[in-house]
Amino acid sequence: MSSKDPHSQIPASSRGSWSSFLKSIASFNGDLSSLTAPPFILSSTSLVEYSAYWAEQPALFVAPAKESDPEKRALLVLKWFLSTLHQQYCSRSEKLGSEKKPLNPFLGELFIGKWDEDEEVGETSLISEQVSHHPPATAYAIRNEKHGIELQGYNAQKASFSSTIQVKQLGHALLTLTPPGADKNDHSQKEKYFITLPSLHIESLIYGTPFVELEKTTRIASTTGYIAKIDYSGKGWLSGKKNTFSAILYKESEGEKRPLYTIDGQWSDTFVIKNARTKSEVEKFVVGENKITPLKLAALEDQDIYESRRAWKDVAAGIENGDMDAVSIAKSKIENAQRELRRIEKAENREWERRFFKRINEVQDTDLMQLTRMLDLIGSLESDKTGGVWRFDHERAAGAAPPYHEDGGRGLGLHE
Protein backbone atom coordinates (compact mmCIF):
# COMPACT_ATOMS: atom_id res chain seq x y z
CA MET A 1 0.00 0.00 0.00
CA SER A 2 1.34 3.45 -0.89
CA SER A 3 2.65 5.58 1.97
CA LYS A 4 0.36 8.32 0.67
CA ASP A 5 -2.69 6.16 1.21
CA PRO A 6 -4.69 7.74 4.06
CA HIS A 7 -5.01 4.31 5.70
CA SER A 8 -1.27 3.55 5.62
CA GLN A 9 -0.93 4.16 9.39
CA ILE A 10 -3.67 1.68 10.26
CA PRO A 11 -2.76 -2.00 10.80
CA ALA A 12 -4.06 -4.14 7.95
CA SER A 13 -6.08 -6.27 10.36
CA SER A 14 -7.82 -3.17 11.75
CA ARG A 15 -8.79 -1.30 8.58
CA GLY A 16 -12.29 -2.74 8.49
CA SER A 17 -13.01 -1.99 12.12
CA TRP A 18 -11.53 1.52 11.76
CA SER A 19 -13.79 2.27 8.80
CA SER A 20 -16.78 1.07 10.81
CA PHE A 21 -15.65 3.22 13.74
CA LEU A 22 -15.46 6.33 11.55
CA LYS A 23 -18.94 5.64 10.22
CA SER A 24 -20.34 5.15 13.74
CA ILE A 25 -19.05 8.51 15.02
CA ALA A 26 -20.50 10.41 12.06
CA SER A 27 -23.82 10.52 13.92
CA PHE A 28 -22.32 10.46 17.43
CA ASN A 29 -23.43 12.88 20.13
CA GLY A 30 -22.71 12.10 23.77
CA ASP A 31 -19.87 11.28 26.13
CA LEU A 32 -16.66 9.71 24.88
CA SER A 33 -17.00 6.72 27.17
CA SER A 34 -19.75 5.18 25.05
CA LEU A 35 -17.59 5.01 21.91
CA THR A 36 -16.45 1.49 21.02
CA ALA A 37 -13.07 1.88 19.36
CA PRO A 38 -10.94 -0.72 17.50
CA PRO A 39 -8.32 -2.44 19.68
CA PHE A 40 -5.30 -0.70 18.15
CA ILE A 41 -6.58 2.69 19.30
CA LEU A 42 -7.31 1.63 22.92
CA SER A 43 -5.22 2.90 25.83
CA SER A 44 -4.42 0.85 28.92
CA THR A 45 -4.61 4.04 31.02
CA SER A 46 -7.74 5.24 32.79
CA LEU A 47 -9.02 8.78 32.28
CA VAL A 48 -8.81 9.29 36.06
CA GLU A 49 -5.00 9.43 35.67
CA TYR A 50 -5.14 12.48 33.40
CA SER A 51 -5.40 14.80 36.42
CA ALA A 52 -1.66 14.31 36.95
CA TYR A 53 -0.85 16.34 33.83
CA TRP A 54 -1.57 19.55 35.77
CA ALA A 55 1.56 19.29 37.94
CA GLU A 56 4.26 17.27 36.22
CA GLN A 57 6.53 20.30 36.55
CA PRO A 58 6.18 21.01 40.27
CA ALA A 59 8.60 23.96 40.31
CA LEU A 60 6.38 25.84 37.84
CA PHE A 61 3.30 24.86 39.84
CA VAL A 62 4.57 26.40 43.09
CA ALA A 63 6.31 29.43 41.51
CA PRO A 64 3.33 31.84 41.88
CA ALA A 65 3.22 31.24 45.65
CA LYS A 66 6.82 32.48 45.95
CA GLU A 67 6.21 35.80 44.16
CA SER A 68 5.35 38.84 46.31
CA ASP A 69 4.01 41.08 43.51
CA PRO A 70 0.33 40.31 42.65
CA GLU A 71 0.72 41.26 38.98
CA LYS A 72 3.70 38.96 38.56
CA ARG A 73 1.87 36.21 40.47
CA ALA A 74 -0.96 36.40 37.96
CA LEU A 75 1.57 36.17 35.13
CA LEU A 76 3.23 33.14 36.72
CA VAL A 77 -0.15 31.44 37.04
CA LEU A 78 -0.76 32.04 33.34
CA LYS A 79 2.73 30.76 32.46
CA TRP A 80 2.21 27.64 34.59
CA PHE A 81 -1.19 26.97 32.97
CA LEU A 82 0.29 27.26 29.48
CA SER A 83 3.15 24.96 30.48
CA THR A 84 0.65 22.20 31.37
CA LEU A 85 -0.98 22.10 27.93
CA HIS A 86 1.73 20.05 26.25
CA GLN A 87 1.46 17.29 28.84
CA GLN A 88 -2.33 17.37 28.92
CA TYR A 89 -2.90 17.30 25.18
CA CYS A 90 0.32 16.24 23.38
CA SER A 91 2.33 13.87 25.53
CA ARG A 92 0.25 10.75 24.82
CA SER A 93 0.33 11.07 21.03
CA GLU A 94 4.09 11.73 21.15
CA LYS A 95 4.69 8.70 23.36
CA LEU A 96 2.24 6.27 21.74
CA GLY A 97 2.25 7.53 18.15
CA SER A 98 -1.33 8.78 18.36
CA GLU A 99 -4.03 9.72 20.84
CA LYS A 100 -5.62 6.59 22.33
CA LYS A 101 -9.08 6.09 23.81
CA PRO A 102 -8.62 5.86 27.60
CA LEU A 103 -10.37 3.46 29.92
CA ASN A 104 -13.64 4.84 31.20
CA PRO A 105 -13.31 5.21 35.00
CA PHE A 106 -15.78 3.49 37.30
CA LEU A 107 -17.51 5.36 40.11
CA GLY A 108 -15.18 5.61 43.10
CA GLU A 109 -12.01 4.91 41.13
CA LEU A 110 -8.93 6.55 42.68
CA PHE A 111 -5.53 7.67 41.47
CA ILE A 112 -3.17 8.76 44.24
CA GLY A 113 0.49 9.74 44.06
CA LYS A 114 3.09 12.38 44.76
CA TRP A 115 5.96 14.26 43.18
CA ASP A 116 9.15 14.58 45.23
CA GLU A 117 11.26 17.50 44.05
CA ASP A 118 14.32 19.07 45.64
CA GLU A 119 14.20 20.66 49.08
CA GLU A 120 13.22 24.02 47.61
CA VAL A 121 10.06 22.73 45.95
CA GLY A 122 9.11 20.03 48.45
CA GLU A 123 6.43 17.38 48.04
CA THR A 124 3.38 17.84 45.81
CA SER A 125 0.53 15.35 46.21
CA LEU A 126 -2.30 14.24 43.93
CA ILE A 127 -5.67 12.72 44.73
CA SER A 128 -7.98 12.01 41.80
CA GLU A 129 -11.40 10.37 42.15
CA GLN A 130 -14.20 9.46 39.78
CA VAL A 131 -17.07 11.26 41.50
CA SER A 132 -19.83 10.67 38.95
CA HIS A 133 -20.55 7.95 36.41
CA HIS A 134 -23.75 9.22 34.79
CA PRO A 135 -22.63 11.76 33.72
CA PRO A 136 -18.94 10.78 33.94
CA ALA A 137 -16.86 13.29 35.94
CA THR A 138 -13.42 13.20 37.55
CA ALA A 139 -12.41 15.43 40.48
CA TYR A 140 -8.87 16.08 41.65
CA ALA A 141 -6.80 17.92 44.26
CA ILE A 142 -3.10 18.74 43.88
CA ARG A 143 -1.42 20.22 46.95
CA ASN A 144 1.98 21.50 48.01
CA GLU A 145 1.80 22.31 51.71
CA LYS A 146 5.34 23.74 51.88
CA HIS A 147 4.32 26.62 49.60
CA GLY A 148 0.65 26.82 50.55
CA ILE A 149 -0.69 26.19 47.05
CA GLU A 150 -3.50 23.91 45.93
CA LEU A 151 -5.22 23.15 42.64
CA GLN A 152 -8.54 21.42 42.66
CA GLY A 153 -11.16 20.93 40.04
CA TYR A 154 -13.33 18.51 38.12
CA ASN A 155 -14.03 17.80 34.50
CA ALA A 156 -16.26 15.91 32.12
CA GLN A 157 -16.45 15.78 28.33
CA LYS A 158 -19.29 16.05 25.87
CA ALA A 159 -18.45 14.98 22.32
CA SER A 160 -20.16 15.47 18.98
CA PHE A 161 -19.20 14.94 15.36
CA SER A 162 -18.82 17.69 12.78
CA SER A 163 -16.20 16.65 10.18
CA THR A 164 -14.25 15.35 13.17
CA ILE A 165 -14.81 14.66 16.88
CA GLN A 166 -15.51 17.92 18.71
CA VAL A 167 -15.12 17.83 22.49
CA LYS A 168 -16.52 20.36 24.94
CA GLN A 169 -14.84 20.08 28.32
CA LEU A 170 -17.13 20.73 31.26
CA GLY A 171 -16.06 21.80 34.73
CA HIS A 172 -13.26 24.09 35.89
CA ALA A 173 -10.07 24.25 37.94
CA LEU A 174 -9.51 26.44 40.99
CA LEU A 175 -6.00 27.41 42.08
CA THR A 176 -5.65 28.69 45.66
CA LEU A 177 -2.38 30.12 46.95
CA THR A 178 -0.98 31.90 49.98
CA PRO A 179 1.11 34.95 48.98
CA PRO A 180 4.52 35.36 50.65
CA GLY A 181 4.16 36.72 54.18
CA ALA A 182 0.48 35.77 54.46
CA ASP A 183 -0.92 33.37 57.05
CA LYS A 184 -1.58 29.98 55.45
CA ASN A 185 -4.35 29.35 57.99
CA ASP A 186 -6.17 32.62 57.31
CA HIS A 187 -8.65 32.09 54.47
CA SER A 188 -9.08 35.84 53.95
CA GLN A 189 -5.40 36.19 53.02
CA LYS A 190 -5.50 33.55 50.30
CA GLU A 191 -6.08 34.36 46.65
CA LYS A 192 -7.86 32.24 44.08
CA TYR A 193 -7.73 31.73 40.34
CA PHE A 194 -10.71 30.33 38.44
CA ILE A 195 -9.61 28.47 35.29
CA THR A 196 -11.92 27.46 32.46
CA LEU A 197 -11.14 24.40 30.32
CA PRO A 198 -10.40 24.51 26.57
CA SER A 199 -12.58 22.96 23.91
CA LEU A 200 -10.80 20.63 21.52
CA HIS A 201 -11.17 18.55 18.41
CA ILE A 202 -9.40 15.48 17.08
CA GLU A 203 -7.20 15.81 14.00
CA SER A 204 -5.94 13.08 11.63
CA LEU A 205 -8.77 10.65 12.36
CA ILE A 206 -8.89 9.28 8.83
CA TYR A 207 -5.19 8.37 9.01
CA GLY A 208 -5.67 6.38 12.20
CA THR A 209 -3.18 8.65 14.02
CA PRO A 210 -5.47 11.01 15.94
CA PHE A 211 -4.09 13.93 17.91
CA VAL A 212 -5.66 16.73 19.93
CA GLU A 213 -5.95 20.33 18.76
CA LEU A 214 -7.30 23.05 21.06
CA GLU A 215 -9.80 25.65 19.93
CA LYS A 216 -11.84 28.64 21.09
CA THR A 217 -10.87 30.39 24.33
CA THR A 218 -9.96 29.73 27.95
CA ARG A 219 -9.80 32.35 30.69
CA ILE A 220 -8.34 32.71 34.17
CA ALA A 221 -9.81 35.15 36.70
CA SER A 222 -8.20 36.01 40.03
CA THR A 223 -9.59 37.44 43.26
CA THR A 224 -6.86 40.11 42.95
CA GLY A 225 -8.59 41.47 39.86
CA TYR A 226 -6.47 40.07 37.02
CA ILE A 227 -7.85 38.21 34.01
CA ALA A 228 -5.98 36.10 31.45
CA LYS A 229 -7.49 35.27 28.07
CA ILE A 230 -6.05 32.55 25.84
CA ASP A 231 -7.22 32.20 22.23
CA TYR A 232 -6.37 28.97 20.40
CA SER A 233 -6.00 28.90 16.62
CA GLY A 234 -4.29 25.66 15.76
CA LYS A 235 -3.99 23.68 12.58
CA GLY A 236 -7.15 22.80 10.71
CA TRP A 237 -7.91 20.74 7.63
CA LEU A 238 -6.25 23.11 5.18
CA SER A 239 -4.10 25.67 6.96
CA GLY A 240 -2.72 26.98 10.21
CA LYS A 241 0.25 26.20 12.44
CA LYS A 242 -0.19 23.35 14.88
CA ASN A 243 -1.01 24.23 18.53
CA THR A 244 -0.93 28.00 18.01
CA PHE A 245 -2.26 30.40 20.65
CA SER A 246 -2.27 34.04 21.68
CA ALA A 247 -2.80 35.19 25.27
CA ILE A 248 -3.11 38.44 27.19
CA LEU A 249 -3.09 39.32 30.88
CA TYR A 250 -4.96 42.44 31.94
CA LYS A 251 -6.48 44.14 34.95
CA GLU A 252 -10.26 43.79 35.06
CA SER A 253 -10.64 47.47 35.93
CA GLU A 254 -8.66 48.51 32.83
CA GLY A 255 -10.09 46.07 30.29
CA GLU A 256 -8.48 43.75 27.76
CA LYS A 257 -7.65 46.60 25.36
CA ARG A 258 -4.94 47.64 27.82
CA PRO A 259 -3.03 44.39 28.35
CA LEU A 260 -0.16 44.13 30.81
CA TYR A 261 1.47 41.16 29.10
CA THR A 262 1.06 39.25 25.84
CA ILE A 263 2.10 35.68 25.13
CA ASP A 264 2.24 34.15 21.66
CA GLY A 265 3.51 30.92 20.12
CA GLN A 266 2.82 27.20 20.19
CA TRP A 267 1.75 25.65 23.48
CA SER A 268 3.42 22.37 22.46
CA ASP A 269 6.74 23.92 21.53
CA THR A 270 7.83 27.52 22.19
CA PHE A 271 6.09 30.71 23.28
CA VAL A 272 7.26 34.24 24.05
CA ILE A 273 6.11 36.39 26.97
CA LYS A 274 6.26 40.18 26.39
CA ASN A 275 5.55 43.22 28.51
CA ALA A 276 2.77 44.92 26.54
CA ARG A 277 3.63 48.35 27.97
CA THR A 278 7.32 48.36 27.05
CA LYS A 279 7.10 45.85 24.13
CA SER A 280 10.13 44.12 25.62
CA GLU A 281 10.57 40.36 25.81
CA VAL A 282 10.22 38.97 29.32
CA GLU A 283 10.89 35.30 28.60
CA LYS A 284 11.07 32.75 25.83
CA PHE A 285 9.64 29.48 27.13
CA VAL A 286 10.76 26.28 25.37
CA VAL A 287 8.60 23.32 26.37
CA GLY A 288 11.27 20.70 25.65
CA GLU A 289 13.79 22.39 27.96
CA ASN A 290 11.62 21.91 31.05
CA LYS A 291 11.96 18.48 32.61
CA ILE A 292 9.01 16.36 33.66
CA THR A 293 9.00 14.89 37.17
CA PRO A 294 7.56 11.35 37.30
CA LEU A 295 4.63 10.77 39.64
CA LYS A 296 5.42 8.27 42.40
CA LEU A 297 2.77 5.64 43.13
CA ALA A 298 2.52 2.98 45.78
CA ALA A 299 3.57 -0.50 44.69
CA LEU A 300 0.68 -2.31 43.01
CA GLU A 301 0.28 -4.77 45.88
CA ASP A 302 0.14 -1.89 48.38
CA GLN A 303 -2.54 0.05 46.52
CA ASP A 304 -6.16 0.05 47.59
CA ILE A 305 -8.33 -2.14 45.38
CA TYR A 306 -10.11 0.98 44.11
CA GLU A 307 -6.87 2.61 42.94
CA SER A 308 -6.74 2.72 39.18
CA ARG A 309 -3.60 0.75 38.33
CA ARG A 310 -4.56 -2.14 40.62
CA ALA A 311 -8.23 -2.17 39.63
CA TRP A 312 -7.54 -2.21 35.87
CA LYS A 313 -4.37 -4.36 35.89
CA ASP A 314 -5.99 -7.35 34.11
CA VAL A 315 -7.63 -5.10 31.52
CA ALA A 316 -4.39 -3.18 30.94
CA ALA A 317 -2.43 -6.41 30.55
CA GLY A 318 -4.92 -7.68 27.99
CA ILE A 319 -4.72 -4.47 25.94
CA GLU A 320 -0.92 -4.43 26.01
CA ASN A 321 -0.78 -8.11 25.00
CA GLY A 322 -3.40 -7.67 22.28
CA ASP A 323 -5.64 -10.25 24.00
CA MET A 324 -9.09 -8.71 23.52
CA ASP A 325 -10.88 -11.77 24.95
CA ALA A 326 -9.04 -11.24 28.24
CA VAL A 327 -9.87 -7.51 28.07
CA SER A 328 -13.56 -8.26 27.58
CA ILE A 329 -13.69 -10.73 30.48
CA ALA A 330 -11.84 -8.41 32.90
CA LYS A 331 -13.88 -5.33 31.92
CA SER A 332 -17.17 -7.23 32.18
CA LYS A 333 -16.30 -8.37 35.70
CA ILE A 334 -15.85 -4.76 36.87
CA GLU A 335 -18.82 -3.38 34.92
CA ASN A 336 -21.22 -6.09 36.13
CA ALA A 337 -20.13 -5.60 39.74
CA GLN A 338 -20.61 -1.86 39.40
CA ARG A 339 -24.10 -2.32 37.96
CA GLU A 340 -24.97 -4.56 40.92
CA LEU A 341 -23.73 -1.92 43.37
CA ARG A 342 -25.86 0.74 41.69
CA ARG A 343 -28.87 -1.60 41.85
CA ILE A 344 -28.38 -2.17 45.58
CA GLU A 345 -27.93 1.56 46.25
CA LYS A 346 -31.12 2.37 44.38
CA ALA A 347 -33.05 -0.31 46.26
CA GLU A 348 -31.77 1.09 49.57
CA ASN A 349 -32.41 4.69 48.49
CA ARG A 350 -28.83 5.80 49.07
CA GLU A 351 -25.97 7.19 47.02
CA TRP A 352 -22.36 6.04 46.63
CA GLU A 353 -20.22 7.85 49.22
CA ARG A 354 -17.38 9.82 47.65
CA ARG A 355 -14.15 9.34 49.54
CA PHE A 356 -12.33 12.64 49.03
CA PHE A 357 -14.77 15.08 47.41
CA LYS A 358 -18.18 16.61 48.06
CA ARG A 359 -20.75 18.65 46.18
CA ILE A 360 -21.07 22.33 47.04
CA ASN A 361 -23.77 24.91 46.50
CA GLU A 362 -22.10 27.33 44.09
CA VAL A 363 -24.24 30.31 45.08
CA GLN A 364 -23.02 30.01 48.68
CA ASP A 365 -19.35 30.22 47.67
CA THR A 366 -18.62 33.95 47.63
CA ASP A 367 -15.20 33.60 45.97
CA LEU A 368 -16.65 31.40 43.24
CA MET A 369 -19.45 33.89 42.62
CA GLN A 370 -16.94 36.76 42.36
CA LEU A 371 -14.75 34.89 39.89
CA THR A 372 -17.58 33.64 37.69
CA ARG A 373 -19.04 37.16 37.65
CA MET A 374 -15.71 38.48 36.33
CA LEU A 375 -16.00 36.04 33.40
CA ASP A 376 -19.78 36.43 32.92
CA LEU A 377 -20.26 32.81 33.93
CA ILE A 378 -22.69 33.16 36.83
CA GLY A 379 -25.32 30.44 36.54
CA SER A 380 -23.60 28.74 33.59
CA LEU A 381 -21.31 26.14 35.19
CA GLU A 382 -23.55 23.37 33.78
CA SER A 383 -23.30 21.39 37.01
CA ASP A 384 -26.14 19.13 35.85
CA LYS A 385 -23.71 17.73 33.26
CA THR A 386 -20.96 16.97 35.79
CA GLY A 387 -23.05 15.53 38.62
CA GLY A 388 -22.54 18.73 40.63
CA VAL A 389 -19.90 21.32 41.50
CA TRP A 390 -17.17 19.33 43.26
CA ARG A 391 -14.70 20.39 45.94
CA PHE A 392 -12.01 18.58 47.88
CA ASP A 393 -13.11 17.56 51.39
CA HIS A 394 -10.09 18.39 53.54
CA GLU A 395 -11.57 17.01 56.77
CA ARG A 396 -12.43 13.65 55.24
CA ALA A 397 -9.09 13.40 53.49
CA ALA A 398 -7.20 14.12 56.71
CA GLY A 399 -8.54 10.90 58.24
CA ALA A 400 -8.23 8.77 55.13
CA ALA A 401 -6.00 5.74 54.91
CA PRO A 402 -6.27 2.59 52.78
CA PRO A 403 -8.34 0.56 52.50
CA TYR A 404 -10.68 3.36 51.43
CA HIS A 405 -13.72 1.18 50.89
CA GLU A 406 -15.59 -1.34 52.98
CA ASP A 407 -17.18 -3.50 50.30
CA GLY A 408 -14.32 -6.01 50.24
CA GLY A 409 -13.80 -5.55 46.51
CA ARG A 410 -17.35 -6.53 45.53
CA GLY A 411 -17.61 -3.32 43.50
CA LEU A 412 -14.83 -4.63 41.28
CA GLY A 413 -16.06 -8.19 41.08
CA LEU A 414 -13.57 -9.27 43.76
CA HIS A 415 -14.04 -11.09 47.05
CA GLU A 416 -11.47 -10.71 49.76
* Domains (range + CATH), the chain: 27-36+44-289 (2.40.160.120)
Burial of 321 (0-12, 13-18, 19+ CB in 10 A): exposed
**pLDDT tens digits, residue range 369-403?**
999 999 999 888 999 999 999 999 999 888 777 77
Distance of CA 194 to CAs 141, 152, 170, 176, Å? 14, 10, 14, 9
Task: Write the DSSP symbol of residue 301.
Answer: G
- Mean pLDDT of all residues in the chain? 89
Average pLDDT score over residue span 55-84: 98
State phi, psi for 293 to the nearest 5 degrees: -95, 125
Q: How far is 49 from 264, CA to CA, in rounded Å?
A: 29
**Which H, E and C letters describe 115-174, residue by residue?**
EECCCCCCEEEEEEEEEEECCEEEEEEEEECCCCEEEEEEEEEEEEECCCEEEEEEEEEE
**pLDDT tens digits, residue range 121-135?**
999 999 999 999 989
pLDDT at 256 over 70: yes
**pLDDT tens digits, residue range 193-206?**
999 999 998 887 76
Q: Which of 182-196, 203-217, 342-356, 366-380 has the lowest mean pLDDT?
A: 203-217
pLDDT at 29 over 70: no
pLDDT value for 7: 44
Of the candidates 276, 261, 231, 280, the one whose C-alpha atom is nearest the C-alpha of residue 79 is: 261
pLDDT band, residue 2 (cuts 50/70/90): very low
The Cβ of residue 119 has, within 10 Å, a number of other Cβ atoms equal to 6
pLDDT at 87 over 90: yes
Q: How far is 175 from 30, CA to CA, in rounded Å?
A: 29
Q: How far is 89 from 110, CA to CA, in rounded Å?
A: 21
Of the candidates 209, 229, 210, the one whose C-alpha atom is nearest the C-alpha of residue 219 is: 229
Task: Tell me the whole-structure pTM to 2 decimals.
Answer: 0.91
pLDDT value for 185: 84
Q: How far is 192 from 221, CA to CA, in rounded Å?
A: 8
In the chain, the percentage of residues whose pLDDT exceeds 90 is 69
The residues, ordered by sequence, that sit 6+ positions from 9 with a Cβ below 8 Å of its Cβ are 98, 207, 208, 209
